[in-house]
Chains A and B, each alone.
Chain A
Amino acid sequence: MFDVATMQISRLLPEMILIGVALAAILVDVMLPKGKSTRGVQWTVIIGLIVVLASTFFNRENTGPAFGGMVVIDGFTMFFRLVLTFITLLIVTVSETYLGSLNIRIAEYYLLLVFSLFGMLLMAMAQDLLIVFLGIETMSVCLYALVGMSRHKHASNEGAIKYFLLGSFTTAFFVYGIALMFGVVGSTNIVDIMVYLSGVSGNVPMLAWASAGLILVAFAFKAALVPFHWWSPDAYEGAPTTVTAFMSTAPKAAAFAAFLRVFYVAFGDMSETWTTVLWVIAAITMTFGNLLALRQDSVKRMLAFSSITHAGYLAVALLTFDQMGAAAILFYLMIYALMNIGAFLVAIAVNRNENDEKGYAFEDYRGLVFRKPAMALAMLVFMLALAGIPPTAGFFGKYYIFSAAVKSGFVGLAVIGVLNSAVSVYYYLRLIVFMFLKDRDEASETPGFNLSGEMVPIVIFCVILVLLIGFFPDALLAVATRSVTVLL
C-alpha cells in the first residue's frame, strides 16, 4: 500500500534544493562575522536560485504526479517554476544596496523571500486543495513579515497589520471552503473533485456552490481583485519598494496559477456560474483600480493601484475558460513581471530619500530625460509597456487577453477592458510628460540618485526583454500555450 518509490520524490528536486538553499543561507548568516553587510547571504541565495533554475531545466522531462497525486509536475508547473524563481532572483539581486539605504540589513529578508518562493511553487504544482492552502499560507506568512520590514516606518507597520489581519481572515474563508468541499466529495484532491462534479453534471449540491464561492473569495483576495483589494494599496505603499515589486508580481502569478488549476480543472463543470461572477469582479476591478490610480501623486502608489487594474485584465482572461485565455494569462504574468519590476527599480533610483514620507513624487521626474537620459528611456519603455502601447510586450499581452475574451463571446467585457486600458494611458503618460517636457532649470535642485550598481544590469535586462518579447511575442506565447494544455 505504501512505498517510498511511489512518491516520486525526485520530481520535486528543485523544491528540495530551494529548502537546502534556505538552510544554507541561515548557516552562512550565522557563520559570517556580524558586520553590517548581508552580502554573503545574498550571494548564497543568488547562486542557490540559479541552481534551482538549472535543476528545473535539466529535470524537465521528469513529469507526472508525485506524493500520491497531491502535487503534479507538468508543463504548467514548469512554466511557473521558472517564472517565479526568475522573479525572486531578480529581486534578490537588486536588494542589498537598497536595503542598506533603508537601514534594514538583516539576513531574514532573503530567507523570507526564499520561503515565500517555496510556498508559491507549491501553489503552482498543487493538485490537492490542502497543498494549495499550505502553499498560500507559507507564501503569505513570509509576505506579512516582509511588508513590515521597515519597522521604524509607520506606513510599513500599518500595511503589514492590515495585510496580516485581512489575510488571516481570508485563510478562514479558504479553509471553510475546503471543509465544505470535503463534505461533498469526500476528498480534497482536485482530480477527485472534477470527477465527482462532472458525474453529477447539472445537479451540483448546494454545499459545493458554497465551497466554490468561499474559495473564489480567497483567491480574489490573494490576487487583489475588487472588492477584496483593500489591503493592497497600503501594503504595497508601506512595504520596502523591492518587496512591493516582488509582491505585485510573483504572488500574483502564483495566485493565478492556483486559481487556474482549481477553477479550470476542479470547478470546470461549474464554469457557467463562476464566469458570470468573475465577469462582474473583473469589470469592477479594472475600472476601480484605474479611477484611483488617476488621482495619485506618488509613483509608488500609482503603480500599486495600477497593479489592481492589471489583475482585472488577468481576471478577464481567466473567465474566458479556454486555452487561449489561459495562455494569455501566462504570457501576461511573465511580461507584467518584467515591466513592473523594471518600473519599480527606476522609481527606487529616482527617489531621493527613502525616509521621506513624500517620496516617489511625480515631481521628482521633472526633466529626468535631460539629467539621466538612459534612466528616462528605460522608464519610458516600462510606462509604454504598462499602458499597452506597441512595440512593447505590453501591447501583445493586452491584445491576447482581449482577443481571447472576444473569441469566447465576452465582447462587452472586452470593450470595458479596452476603454480602461485607454484611461490608464493617462497616468502612465503623465509620468512621461513630467520626464520630457518640463523646464530644465528646475531640474538642478533635485539631488542625486539612488541607483546602485546591481540595479543597472537588471533594468537593462528588463528593457531588452520587454522590447524583445514585443517584437517576437510568438515564442513566449507558444510556450504559454503548450503549458496550459494540461488544464483543458
Chain B
Amino acid sequence: MDAQTIVFAILALISLFSGIMVVTRKNPVHSILFLVLMFFCFAGFYVMLGATFLAAIQVLVYAGAIMVLFLFVVMMLNLRDPEALEGGTSFFQTLGFVVAIGFGIVLLAFLAGKPGPGVPTFPPGEAAYALGDAKSLGQELFHNYVFPFEIAGILLLAAVIGAVALAKRERV
C-alpha cells in the first residue's frame, strides 16, 4: 500500500462519514458544517487527480461561498426548534431509505463490473499535474468546450431573470 492509497482511504472514509452525518443530523447547521467537511475532502480528491485548479475552486466556491449562502438561508428561516421537524418516520421516509440503500448496492455492483476501455488514463507523474492546472483547463474550456461554456452563461442569465421575475415588487 503506497502513500497515495492511504491518503485516498482516509479522505474517502472522512467524506463517507460526513456524508452520512449530513443526512442524519437534525440540526440543519450541523448538516451544513458536515457538508463543508465533505467538500474539503472532495478538494483533496481533486488534488490527488492532479486537478489543482479545480481543487482551489472547490474550496473557494463550494466550501466557501455556497455554504455561506446555505448557512445564511438556514439562519434566515430561523427554525427555533429542530426537534419539531422530526415528527416520526413516515412511510415515504422508510421507502426513500430503502431505495437509497438499494441504489447504492446496485451502483457498487456496477462499479465492480468490467470497466470500459474509455476510462481516461492520465500520463504518470508530472504530466498529470500539468493537465489539471488553470492553463490547460482554460484551454479546454475556451477551445473544445466553448459552446457549452457560452450556453452556461445564457443559462445563468435566464436564471437571474427568473429570480427577478419571482422576487421583484409588483408594478402597480
Residues of A within 8 A of B (CB): 1-2, 7, 19, 34, 36, 67-68, 70-71, 103, 105-106, 108-109, 111-112, 115-116, 118-119, 122, 128, 130-131, 134-135, 137-138, 141-142, 144-146, 148-149, 151, 160, 180, 182-187, 196, 200, 205-210
Contact between A105 and B113 (Cβ–Cβ < 8 Å)? no
* B107 close to A (CB within 8 Å): yes
With known contacts A112-B158, A112-B161, A115-B157, A131–B147 Cβ distance under 8 A: yes
Contact between A184 and B116 (Cβ–Cβ < 8 Å)? yes
Contact between A183 and B115 (Cβ–Cβ < 8 Å)? yes
Complex: how many Å from CA A315 to CA B37? 44
* B110 close to A (CB within 8 Å): yes
A36: chain B residues at CB < 8 Å are 171
Between A and B, 27 residue pairs with Cβ closer than 8 Å are: A2-B143, A7-B147, A19-B154, A71-B147, A105-B171, A106-B165, A111-B158, A111-B161, A112-B161, A112-B162, A115-B161, A128-B148, A131-B147, A131-B151, A134-B152, A137-B155, A138-B154, A138-B155, A145-B161, A148-B166, A149-B165, A149-B166, A200-B116, A206-B110, A207-B110, A207-B113, A207-B115
Contact between B162 and A186 (Cβ–Cβ < 8 Å)? no
Complex: how many Å from CA A185 to CA B119? 7
B109: chain A residues at CB < 8 Å are 206
Contact between A184 and B147 (Cβ–Cβ < 8 Å)? no
CB distance from B141 to the nearest CB of A (A): 12
Q: Which residue of B lies closest to A141 (CB)?
A: B159
Complex: how many Å from CA A111 to CA B148? 21
Q: Which residue of A lies closest to B152 (CB)?
A: A134
Q: Which residue of A lies closest to B151 (CB)?
A: A134
Q: Mark B97-122, 1 if CB is under 8 A from A, else 0.
A: 00000000011011101111111100
Q: Which of chain B's residues 66-105 have a Cβ closer than 8 Å to chain A?
A: none
Q: How many residues of B contact A (CB 8 A)?
A: 35
* B3 close to A (CB within 8 Å): no
Residues of B within 8 A of A (CB): 106-107, 109-111, 113-120, 143-148, 151-152, 154-155, 157-159, 161-166, 168, 170-171
Complex: how many Å from CA A454 to CA B162? 26
Contact between B111 and A141 (Cβ–Cβ < 8 Å)? no
Q: Which residue of A lies closest to B112 (CB)?
A: A206
A111: chain B residues at CB < 8 Å are 158, 161
CB distance from B161 to the nearest CB of A (A): 5
Contact of B110 among A149, A185, A210 (CB under 8 A): A210
Contact between B164 and A108 (Cβ–Cβ < 8 Å)? yes
List 18 additional contacts besides A138-B151, A187-B118, A206-B109; criterion CB under 8 Å.
A67-B147, A70-B148, A103-B170, A106-B165, A106-B171, A112-B161, A115-B158, A122-B151, A134-B151, A134-B155, A141-B155, A144-B162, A183-B119, A184-B116, A185-B118, A200-B116, A205-B113, A210-B110
Contact between B144 and A68 (Cβ–Cβ < 8 Å)? yes
With known contacts A71-B147, A112-B158, A138-B158, A196–B118 Cβ distance under 8 A: yes
